[in-house]
Copies of this chain bind each other. A is one copy, B any other.
Amino acid sequence: MTVTRVPTAPACLARVRDEVEPAMRAAVQRLGDELQRPIAYHLGWCDEFGVPTSGGGKGVRPALALLSAEAVGADAAVAVPGAAAIELVHNFSLLHDDVMDGDRERRHRPTVWALSGVPTAIIAGDALMVLALQLLLEVPGATGAAAARRLASATAAMIEGQVDDMTFESRVDVGLNDCITMEARKTGAILACAASIGAELAGAPARAVDGLDRYGLHLGLAFQAVDDLLGIWGDPTVTGKPANSDLTTAKKSLPVVAALDARHPASFELRSLLATPGLDHEQRHRAAELIETCGGRERTAEFARRELALACDALEAADLQPAAVRELLSVAHFVVERDF
């Protein structure tokens, strides 16, 4: 399968604002004012003074949820609680991860803990996680419970992935497979859930739901590989993160692990450089060069392309509606070709 360049966001991402955001806003409005404020800020709906803004994430996850209902011939409306729930769980994880990772900025703005304190970020995340499951448990019939079960499993996997990610920082023996397993849990599981929850809510047969789930898992791995590349070589004015941001910590991202794993002469210099605490700007720049010299950049890009191809293959094997499949393919290409 050839990967073609997709310069702009697919149209289906724009649908999220009209079709999913109202459900998310209605859900968040159930919470008390003290919770609504930091959550609306975090979601990009308002600034730190509560003044409405237009913003928010890329909307990939909820778009996948809508398309997964259409892929099995159902109306996208059936997937809306799933799309909203996925986005709420994703944001629960961002709120908590920012605290755990000590990240003070996200999307060019202070993170919630940096702005309002750790307790606010913890409780806001907790509230989003429970709210997400409530949305699904309120869907009548067995499909709501099945979707809730799927989301709870994905969330459990995501939590294990975050644990791996944190413990890897203090380990020197992280191999490429450990790293891929970590990313499959941390990013893959929730994308797999996003890509299948609409079909689950539509009551589709297991073969279709499983195919969509596999598509989402491989897409998640491709997505994370691209994120890892952007975390080192992304343009700070586009990504909203500092230059070489992933090299400010001992984070074991794919390019780093692939470079260390390469047994290239430069791997040794890289290993000792990365063992230095608090790398300065020059040192981070040098580390990025060494990672590239050891092939870490190219191996990660190759991995992303391979996972993208596997994602596309999973769709083709699952006997789905062609129009929705075309859109799912365009999302997949967009995710891998993006530069933010």
On A, residues with C-beta under 8 Å from B are 31-32, 34-35, 96, 99-100, 118-119, 122-123, 125-127, 129-131, 133-134, 137-138, 142, 144-145, 148-149, 152-153, 155-156, 159-160, 162-164, 166-167
Contact = CB atoms under 8 A, between A and B. Distances in A.
Contact of A148 (B131, B148, B166, B167): B148
Contacts of A159: 35, 123, 126-127, 130
B137 A156 contact: no
Given A34-B163, A127-B160, A129-B129, 18 more contacts: A34-B164, A35-B159, A96-B126, A99-B118, A100-B122, A118-B118, A127-B156, A129-B130, A130-B155, A133-B148, A134-B152, A134-B153, A134-B156, A137-B148, A137-B152, A142-B142, A142-B145, A145-B145
A145 to B, nearest CB: 4
Nearest to A126: B159
A273 to B, nearest CB: 25
A78 to B, nearest CB: 18
Given A137-B149, A145-B137, A145-B144, A123 B166 contact: yes
Secondary structure class of chain A's binding surface, majority of residues: helix
Nearest to A93: B126
A160 B34 CA distance: 9
Given A99-B122, A119-B99, A133 B160 contact: no
A67 to B, nearest CB: 25
24 contacts: A32-B160, A32-B163, A32-B164, A34-B163, A34-B164, A35-B163, A96-B123, A96-B126, A99-B119, A100-B122, A119-B166, A126-B126, A126-B159, A130-B155, A130-B156, A131-B156, A133-B133, A134-B153, A137-B145, A137-B149, A138-B149, A142-B145, A145-B148, A148-B148
Nearest to A128: B159
A100 B129 contact: no
Contacts of A166: 119, 123
Contacts of A156: 127, 130-131, 134
The residue in A123, A131, A142 that gathers the most chain B C-beta atoms within 10 A of its C-beta is A123
Contacts of A148: 133, 137, 145, 148
A65 B122 CA distance: 28
B133 A152 contact: yes
A240 B219 CA distance: 51
A131 B152 CA distance: 8
A252 to B, nearest CB: 15
The residue in A34, A100, A166, A167 that gathers the most chain B C-beta atoms within 10 A of its C-beta is A100
The residue in A134, A163, A164 that gathers the most chain B C-beta atoms within 10 A of its C-beta is A163
A199 B145 CA distance: 19
